[in-house]
């Protein structure tokens, strides 16, 4: 099941309850709710009770960078350290 909505507001428990109902209709016993925004404390509590994993905008961004999905390296920096062994007598 795939449903994509662009959100600017926080996600509350009604959205999680609705998602859980959709999962039950598909006979799924768990699901992942992904948003580019964040979740209210009520949504987090509902998700725990309903076996729904939550991915907010910050986690989504971190996952995108970690797995290099939908991102490009813009600039790379090299840091140097003195090799003390090279200069040892």
Report how far residue 34's alpha carbon sits from residue 5's, in angstroms, rounded to the nearest whole number: 10
In the three-class reduction of DSSP (H, G, I as helix; E, B as strand; rest coil), residue 22 is classed as helix
pLDDT of 68 reads 94
Indicate whether this model's pTM tops 0.95. no
The 10 Å Cβ neighbour count of residue 28 is: 12
pLDDT of 88 reads 87
Question: What does DSSP assign to residue 53?
Answer: E
pLDDT of 89 reads 74
The 10 Å Cβ neighbour count of residue 79 is: 4
Which parts of the chain sit beneath pLDDT 70?
1-8
Report how far residue 5's alpha carbon sits from residue 3's, in angstroms, rounded to the nearest whole number: 7
């Amino acid at each position: 099941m795939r449903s994509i909505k662009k959100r600017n507001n926080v996600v509350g428990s009604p959205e999680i309850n609705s998602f859980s109902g959709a999962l039950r209709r598909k006979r799924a016993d768990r699901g992942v709710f992904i948003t580019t925004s964040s979740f209210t404390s009520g949504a987090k509590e509902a998700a725990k009770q309903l076996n729904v994993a939550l991915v907010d905008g910050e986690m989504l961004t971190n996952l995108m960078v970690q797995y290099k999905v939908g991102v490009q390296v813009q600039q790379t920096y090299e840091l140097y350290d003195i090799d003390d062994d090279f200069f040892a007598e």
